[in-house]
Amino acid sequence: MKWQRSSDKTFVGGDPRVADASSFEFVESDQDTEQRIQGIRYIATCAAVICLLYVLLYTSAGLTWLAVYNLVFAGLYTAVRLWPNRGQMRGLGIVLMGFGTTQLMANCFLFVPPNTGSHYFILLIPILSLVAIHPRDRLWWAFFSFSNLAVIVFLEWAREDFVPVFPLPHRPDQLPYWRAFAVFVTLAVVIAVFRTFHRNLHRARKELHYSYERSESLLLNILPWSIAERLKSDVETIADDFQEASVLFADLVGFTELADQHTAAETVTLLNRIFSDFDDAVDRHGLEKIKTIGDAYMVAAGVPSPRPDHVSALLDFANDLLSMIDRHNRNETTSVALRIGISTGPLTAGVIGSRKFTYDIWGDTVNMASRMESTGLPGRVQVTPAVVRGADARFQFEDRGLIQIKGKGEMQTFLLRPLESQKPPG
């Protein structure tokens, strides 16, 4: 079974990302429908078989009119079992419970006295109704349940004194056998139903657990773990200020021209291989991937969990990216280059949107990282003076001089020296 949002959309705390349970309604899945149809046919089959057993029993006892009575209901149950229109099964479940209620009540009030245990069969109706009746028809289930339970209580209370309209002739010494048979059949059907219910419940729990793990995995592919946990427990706006964090923008130079020479599928496959390697590197360095924009890649260090080495971690990551692009060019016989820009400083991070929401970052630090990338050189990492000051001694930089930066004017920038020039001579 599943639930879908109803037309009346109400949200907890006014946040459309977390809906109130009252805004969802029950929707029966195809699997639920199939199980209910199988349940209806199983019940109808069992009822028909039991009726036929009583036909044989009453015929051998010379009670032809009772045999005919049970034969009629055996035919009705068989008709339900063989009904060809699956679309009418919802109503047929109600009809089936109506047949059962009619037969069992008429049997008790007209023919078979309760001291034979005949009223025990009525216990089956409330239980079988859970299987046969659609959840939206809960009023029918309530009707069948309470009416049958009321009859059971009455007949049990008047078991020794109640006399049916057309009482079945019987010997007092046979009463224990009749009651034992009624109890046996009732319990056998109840056990069979609950065994089926338990098996379906176990399967549903396994499927639910798999779906939960799958949804958790998908959520953690969209949001950082700590942010996902906050989003599930707190519906208020998620926005955090970080005084020290670093941001990297990387753009594939020459990829547009390369895409023009390949099919769409080939282009997406190549880009996916490159960015998948980038994703693995993000995990290795303990960074946070923010998003991809076309053939551009955006990463942050120090968010959502602060870390003192955010600058150096991002510089190590940048060197890894350059090495990976060189490897891809050799393996794919391509000639794309990576232009990288890094900035460090304060920024704001949070979750935006009510649908397809994302964890994003804002601030001058983010804008400067974007400017460092767009004004940088292919195959190099351009950084701000703050990055140079925050990097550890392993990294060496070249002063690029003054560069015209949009929105900032002239600004001094630096280039991270390639890995080869960082190695000690000799």
pLDDT for the residue numbered 20 = 47
Domains delineated in the chain: 28-214 (no CATH), 237-422 (3.30.70.1230)
Beta bridge partners of 370: none
d(CA 230, CA 226): 6
Under 8 Å between Cβ of 242 and 349: yes
The whole-angstrom distance between residue 212's C-alpha and the CA centroid of its chain comes to: 5
Q: What CA–CA distances, in Å, run from 50 to 41, 100, 155, 219?
A: 14, 12, 22, 52
Query: How much is the pTM?
Result: 0.56
Q: What is the pLDDT of residues 327-360, one digit of tens each?
A: 988 887 778 899 999 999 999 988 877 777 778 8
Burial class (CB in 10 A: 0-12, 13-18, 19+), 311: buried
pLDDT for the residue numbered 234 = 60
In the chain, the amino acid numbered 70 is N
pLDDT for the residue numbered 17 = 46
pLDDT for the residue numbered 419 = 67
Beta bridge partners of 359: 351
* 384 φ/ψ angles, rounded to the nearest 5 degrees: -85, 165
In the chain, the amino acid numbered 170 is H
Under 8 Å between Cβ of 219 and 287: no
Per-residue confidence in pLDDT tens, the chain, 426 aa: 444 444 444 333 444 444 444 444 555 667 777 888 888 888 899 899 989 988 998 898 888 888 999 999 999 999 999 988 878 888 899 999 999 999 999 988 988 888 888 888 898 899 888 888 888 888 999 999 999 999 989 998 888 888 888 887 777 777 788 888 888 888 887 888 778 777 877 887 888 888 877 877 776 666 766 677 666 676 567 778 899 999 999 999 988 787 777 788 888 888 889 999 999 999 999 999 999 888 899 999 999 889 999 999 999 999 999 999 999 888 877 788 999 999 999 999 888 777 777 788 999 999 999 999 999 999 999 999 999 999 998 999 999 989 888 888 899 999 999 866 444 444
Contacts of 367 (CB under 8 A, 6+ apart): 407
